[in-house]
Amino acid sequence: MPRTTPLEELKLIEAIVAAHGRGIGIADIEAEIERRQGEKPNRRTLQRRLHKLIEAQRLTTEGESIALVYKPATGSLPDAGAKAAAKTDGIATAELYVPVSPEGATIRDQVRQSLMYRKPVGYQREFLEAYQPGITFYLPDSLRRQLHEMGWTFESERPAGTYARDILGRLLVDLSWASSKLEGNTYSRLDTQNLIELGQVAQGKDAIETQMILNHKAAIEMLIEDADEVGFDAFTFKNLHAVLSQDLMRDPGASGRLRRRPVDISGTVFHPLAMPQLIEDCFELLLDKAAAIPDPFEQAFFLMVQLPYLQPFEDVNKRVSRIGANISLIQQNLCPLSFIDVPERAYVEGTLGVYELNQIELLRDVFVWAYERSCQRYLAITQTMVEPDPLKIKYREALIQAVQAVVKGLRQPSQSVIAELAREHAAAADQLAFLEMLETALQLLHEGSIARYRLRRSEYLAWQQAQA
């Protein structure tokens, strides 16, 4: 079952407590969540959710210690009527939200209604089939031009992935953190940076949260390292799912494979496709249409709309869509989409608008705001970057291979070794300069920079140990 978001968890907890007017203890709440979702919730996470509901005056407590029970706050019962149910709950009023269009606001209001007032719907294949690449556009022409102006970089004529490599360290941290945060991950940005750059696991965090961050890092590196080879095809997206879902799937065999069983998504009245053959057919059609879209921003947004809606994998679909949305941006050296500072509720409600209404306007509002935020962040960074050395550009791939030869070969970075590699990888006139580049690269090599040389952490640590 796809992992529920914190907002969905809060609603579920509140509904469970509301069904027990005289109060219910935390152990019974745990048991009820396990019965409904098929897995036991983390106790610390549940305690945080309960505390948040109390702060928002949605729940109250009675008793102490082991006799403590949770009860609905006055006026928060679900049977208080449609008017009460349609109100924005107390938790969300303090949350930030993106600016929304009138169409987006209408969708937001509809998906905020209680589940009992929303009509159950199934997957509508016509929503995918009706889209005609190059003819249908979710993003109007004026908006696409605006996005191109915002995301343009000076790297447009250079090899695919050049700009993303230039900001790799920042992008790995930002996108891994922000995308994981949209899944309820509680790592801070600093925690994420320490994990990615130094290998330091944050204290008090669940192993699943740590794994989620590391999986994002690996997935982003895969797209950037193989920017010339990845695309809107089944091979890329199955492998992307395999990386993002590593050690996170209930059935490890489902990682990187299309879904073979029905799934339910809590917090929505939408029911995804159940038949494996139809899932496979729609998956192929979706990717064929995505590959034929001429505009990179339309490609990115199309994927964010259609892939989670199809739910081709047992879990991790939204993560695949967020990371996959960057494929065309990375390939064309446009500013990437990091989802930094995106309010979780806005993203969830935009996705629900697609699930339940087949309406994209609220998610589009989120997409445009998120992209503008990303551009502001990364283009400000690149204004302070030093102009690249043409020789480094010329020998970029050769330098990567030379560093790999030293590290993977567990070789000492002696002058003789470096000189030998310079002779192998550079023209005679450039060998001295290449030797200096390689020497500097090896001196500055650390855990936070190994990704640029396509090295695994285990390879780097083995090399370090060999130098001791």
| 317 among annotated binding-site residues | yes
Q: State both tokens at 429.
A: 């006139």
| 316 among annotated binding-site residues | yes
| 452 among annotated binding-site residues | no
Distance separating alpha carbons of residues 135 and 249, to the nearest angstrom: 38
What 3-state class would DSSP assign to 45? helix
What 3-state class would DSSP assign to 153? coil
Q: Number of helices (H) and strands (E) in the chain: give both, helices first.
A: 23, 4
| 358 among annotated binding-site residues | no
Residue-wise DSSP of 47-69? HHHHHHHHHTTSEEEES-GGG-E
Distance separating alpha carbons of residues 346 and 325, to the nearest angstrom: 18
What 3-state class would DSSP assign to 92? helix
Q: State both tokens at 131.
A: 């889209």
Longest dimension (CA), the chain: 84
Q: Do residues 73 and 57 lie in contact, with contact meaning Cβ atoms separated by under 8 Å? A: yes
Q: Do residues 196 and 213 lie in contact, with contact meaning Cβ atoms separated by under 8 Å? A: yes
**How far is residue 133 from each of residues 76, 143, 144, 318, 428, measured CA to CA in Å?**
47, 17, 15, 22, 50
Angle between the N-to-C axes of helices 296-310 and 344-357, in degrees from 0 to 180, rounded to the nearest 10:
70
| 321 among annotated binding-site residues | yes
| 69 among annotated binding-site residues | no
Q: Which amino acid type is present at position 292?
A: A
CA end-to-end distance (rounded Å), the chain:
47
Residue-wise DSSP of 187-209? --HHHHHHHHHH-PPPTT--HHH
Q: Which amino acid type is present at position 74?
A: T
| 407 among annotated binding-site residues | no
CA 160 to chain centroid: 21
Compute the CA torsion angle 71, 73, 75, 79 (nearest 10 deg). -20
Classify residue 145 by its DSSP letter.
H
Please, how many CA atoms are within 13 Å of residue 79, restricted to the half-sphere of its CB?
Answer: 5
| Neighbouring-strand partners of residue 71 | 60
| 315 among annotated binding-site residues | yes
Q: Residue positions in the annotated binding site?
A: 315-322
Q: Residue positions in the annotated binding site for ATP?
A: 315-322
